[in-house]
Amino acid sequence: MTIQFRALADSWSTLFAIVISLIDGSEERIVHSYEQLNYLSSRDCKIKFNIYLLYSTRPKNSTRN
């Protein structure tokens, strides 16, 4: 997944901590992986963040095709 952020002009000096999580659809809502980004608009305004989130285990659901 590739993500690019933009902040308003009055937020250019604000440091944002952004957390992106891969959560399964089960009732337990297990977090399989996550990535935390620190974003400062004045430094990172043209950067695209490439993120790979993977399931720790992904058994086949026999009730779905």
Q: What would the 3-class secondary structure string for 12-48 be?
A: CCCEEEEEEEEECCCCCCCEEEEEEEEEEHHHHCCCC
3-state secondary structure of 54: coil
| pLDDT given for residue 52 in this prediction | 94
Sequence ranges of the domains in the chain: 2-50
The pTM for the full model equals: 0.70
pLDDT of residue 1: 86
pLDDT in tens, the chain (65 residues): 888 888 888 888 999 999 999 998 888 898 999 999 999 998 998 899 999 999 888 666 667 65
